[in-house]
Amino acid sequence: MKTNSYEAIWDRTKWFREARFGAFIHFGIYAIAGRGEWVQSAEKISKEKYRQYFDEFNPDSYDADEWAKVIKEAGMKYAVLTAKHHDGFCLFDSQLTDFKSTNTSCKRDLIKEYIEALRRADLKVGIYYSLLDWDHPDYPAYGDRQHPMRYNEDFKNKSHDFDKYIAYFHGQVKELCTNYGKIDIMWFDFSYWEMKGEAWKATELVKMIRELQPDIIIDNRLGGNMELSHPEIYAGDFDGPEQCIPRDMVVNEQGQSLPWEVCMTLNNSWGYCGMDKAYKLPSFVIKCLVDCVSKNGNLLVNIGPDARGRIPKQSKTILSEVGDWLRDNGESIYGCGASEIENPQWGRFTQKENTLYAHLFNPVLGHINMKGMRDKIQKARVVADGSEVIVTDFWNLDNGVSKMDSPEDVYLAFGYPVANTYDLPDPRGTVIKLELKVNR
Ligand code: GLC
C-alpha cells in the first residue's frame, strides 16, 4: 500500500479522527514582546534588535506537567507545540543553531520537557515546525512576502544559498524525529508563492520522516493537494483550515471523506498578546467543536503562554468549562463523525454506528423536528443525565398534519405538553442520544 494512498491515510489517522479535540501551543521569545508571534515581521524588527528577547528569555513558570494537566482537563487528546516558529527561535536543543532555548538563561530543552509531560498524561504528541525562518541567513529576505527585512534595501544584494537553508531545516526535522521518541503529528507551516512542494524538497523530507517515524501523521501545508486522486507523497494526512470551519465535509476528487482539523485561537492571537481580550465564550468553543465533528473534522484550540510560561487565566477558564461539558457529553464527540443524516436546521448531528447525537445550542419553538425520522428512532435520552426525551407526533396531528412538515417526520420534546417551548437542559449545548433502529 502506498504511504499516500487514501487507505493508508485513513488508517494512520484513526486515533486522530477519534480524538477530535486538541491543543495548539504557540510559545517562543515573542511572548516577551506580547504582541503575537508575527511581531518581528509586522514591526520589521531587525535580527539584532530582536535578540533582546532571546537575551531576556527565561520562562521561570514553564511547567509542562501543568500544561498537560490543563489540556487533559479540557478533554483534549493531543497537543501541537511550536518547536520553531517563523522567527527561527528553537525550543529544542538543536545542534544546528545557537538560536535555541538551551542557550538562553533558562538553559532548558522545552520540547523535551513538553514531550515527556504529554506522554505522562497519555496525550498524543504533536510538533509544529515553521518552514519560514527569519533568522537563518540563507532564507530569502529582501522581496520576500513576509520577512522582516523584505523592504530593507541593505538586503537587496545580499546573496543567500537556499540549499543551505533546506539542509538546515531537514536536519532539524531529523533531530526532532530522532531525539525525542515517538512523535504523533508533524505540523509544518506554511507554503506560499513558489515556496511550496519541491521548493522545500518535500518528497525527500517526507520520505525521511516516514522512515524515522512510520506512524506519524503530517499536515497539508507543505503545499501538495490532498484532494487529488493521486496526491503527492507530501500532500499530507489531514487538511488544516485556519480560523474557519468548512461548510461541508472535506472530500477528495472521488468524494471520499478526508481527515481535517480546524485550528482556532481563543482570543484573536496565536502567540501571547496581553492586550487582546477578545476571548470566545466556552459555549462558542463547544459549538465549534460539535460543528467540526458533525462534518468529520477535528478542532485544535490555541493556547499562547506568556513570557513566564504561564497559560493565560482566561484560556484556562474557558478550557476548563469546555472540559466540564465534555465530561458530560464526550461520548457524542470522541470516536464520532458525520451522520448519515443531513445536519438539521436547529443544530448538528454527530454519529457513532447506530447512535445518533442531536446537538442543540438554542431552544427550539415547540417540539423539535426530526426530518424523515418517523419509525427510525428506538429511544431518545439526554446524554448528560440519561433522562427521557419524548419522541412524538406533531402536536396537532388530530386536526390534520400541518402542511409545513412531512408525515415522514417525527418530533422530540423535553416535556409535556409537547407543544411547549422548554429551556435547554444545558444552555452550553444539550445533546440528545438517539438509538436508531437497525433496519432503518
Ligand atoms: C499562520 C501563521 C502562524 C500560525 C499559524 C497557525 O500560518 O503564520 O503564525 O502559527 O497560522 O495555523
Q: In whole angstroms, what is the distance from residue 368 CA to residue 270 CA?
A: 39
Helix, strand, coil shares of the chain as percentages rounded to 5?
30, 20, 50
Rounded to the nearest angstrom, the gap between the alpha carbon of residue 336 and the centroid of all alpha carbons in its chain is: 16
Residue 49 confidence (pLDDT): 98
Rounded distance from Cα 303 to ligand 1 centre (Å): 13
Whether ligand 1 lies within 6 angstroms of the CB of 189 is answered as yes
Residue 73 confidence (pLDDT): 98
pLDDT in tens, 91-109: 999 999 999 999 999 999 9
pLDDT at 342 over 60: yes
Q: Which domains does the chain have, with CATH numbers?
A: 6-332 (3.20.20.80), 347-436 (2.60.40.1180)
Whether ligand 1 lies within 6 angstroms of the CB of 190 is answered as yes
pLDDT in tens, 257-288: 999 999 999 999 999 999 999 999 999 999 99
Rounded distance from Cα 139 to ligand 1 centre (Å): 18
Rounded distance from Cα 188 to ligand 1 centre (Å): 10
Rounded distance from Cα 383 to ligand 1 centre (Å): 36
Contact 174, 208 (CB under 8 A): yes
| pLDDT tier, 354 (very low <50, low <70, confident <90, very high otherwise) | very high
- ∠ CA 122-246-353, nearest 5°, is 55
Residue 216 confidence (pLDDT): 98
Contacts of 433 (CB under 8 A, 6+ apart): 331, 332, 355, 356, 357, 380, 381, 382, 383
Residue 281 confidence (pLDDT): 98
Choose the residue to mutate in 82, 189, 239, 273 for probing ligand 1, maximizing ligand atoms within 8 Å of C-beta: 189
Query: What percent of the chain has a predicted confidence (pLDDT) above 70?
Result: 98
Residue 138 confidence (pLDDT): 98
Whether ligand 1 lies within 6 angstroms of the CB of 261 is answered as no
Phi, psi of 429 (to 5 degrees): 150, 115
Whether ligand 1 lies within 6 angstroms of the CB of 241 is answered as no
Q: What is the mean pLDDT of residues 375-394?
A: 96
Residue with grid cell 464520532, as numbered in its chain: 336
| pLDDT tier, 401 (very low <50, low <70, confident <90, very high otherwise) | low
Q: What is the mean pLDDT of residues 348-373?
A: 97
pLDDT at 423 over 80: yes
Q: What is the mean pLDDT of residues 367-374?
A: 95
Choose the residue to mutate in 25, 130, 190 for probing ligand 1, maximizing ligand atoms within 8 Å of C-beta: 190
pLDDT at 185 over 90: yes
Whether ligand 1 lies within 6 angstroms of the CB of 242 is answered as yes
Contact 379, 391 (CB under 8 A): yes
Q: What is the mean pLDDT of residues 158-174?
A: 98
pLDDT at 403 over 60: no
Contact 68, 117 (CB under 8 A): yes
Residue 404 confidence (pLDDT): 63
| pLDDT tier, 202 (very low <50, low <70, confident <90, very high otherwise) | very high
Whether ligand 1 lies within 6 angstroms of the CB of 263 is answered as yes
Choose the residue to mutate in 242, 244, 261, 302 for probing ligand 1, maximizing ligand atoms within 8 Å of C-beta: 242
Average model confidence (pLDDT) across the chain = 97
